[in-house]
Amino acid sequence: MNTQRFFIGRSLLAACLLVMTAQAWAQSPLFEFEPVSLAAPGLVLTKSVDARQAWNYSLNLDFEFASNDAIFRDQVVGSRYDRNCGQPYDKIPLSSRPGLGRPMPFHVIVRRLDNQQTVLDRNYESLCLMGTRTSAPIKSRIIARIALQQGRYVIEVHNLAAQTGLEHIKTSISLTAGHGKW
């Protein structure tokens, strides 16, 4: 009887680990930390991706600073998230704007790779801090949330306005399965 419980317990544990591993694989980033420059308007990233399952992905801007001191002095990326962050910057009351950072407009196009069908073609305004890393001086913002079905896609990200003040900050784009704690 104890032997039977032991094998059942091990089988359940193995099944749970298999499911967790499959979920982690399916929900792993489609790409991370692709370097971009926002110094001039124009196409900053073209990337082919393979969405292994239908999911809501987060297209993120990542900013790596030279030091923790530099991250605290930053006025461009922002230092907080606010209930106003989902609306256009010009609609946010002046009293609520400090700490939100500078609005950064982007145009995102997503096409299916197999038939070139456009599944997303839209402008976004990235605003507000969405997260920081404790292991490195990195801040992140969301450009867009993108719902993808299983399949292969090409993603284009266009910067719509030159961004100053990022000359000493490594800027990159990531496409992750949601946005959460690191």
- Torsion from C-alpha of 124, 125, 127, 129, nearest 10 degrees: 20
Strand order in the sheet with 42-51: 42-51, 151-159, 104-112, 118-126
- For residue 87, the 8-state DSSP code is S
In the CATH scheme, what architecture does the domain 30-176 have?
A: Sandwich (2.60)
pTM of the full predicted structure? 0.82
Q: Following DSSP, what letter does each residue of 92-127 receive, concatenated?
A: S-GGG-TTS---EEEEEEEEETTT--EEEEEEEEE-
Q: Following DSSP, what letter does each residue of 4-24 receive, concatenated?
A: HHHHHHHHHHHHHHHHHHHHH
Q: Given this model, what pLDDT does residue 20 score? A: 40
Reduced to 3 states (helix: H, G, I; strand: E, B; else coil), residue 77 is coil
Among residues 33, 97, 75, 88, the alpha carbon closest in space to that of 164 is found at 75
Integer Cα distance of 21 and 41 in angstroms:
40
Per residue of the chain (182 residues), give pLDDT as tens: 566 655 555 555 444 443 444 344 446 899 999 999 999 999 999 999 999 999 999 999 999 999 988 988 898 999 999 888 888 999 999 999 999 999 999 999 999 999 999 999 999 999 999 888 767 899 999 999 999 999 999 999 999 999 999 999 999 999 998 654 33
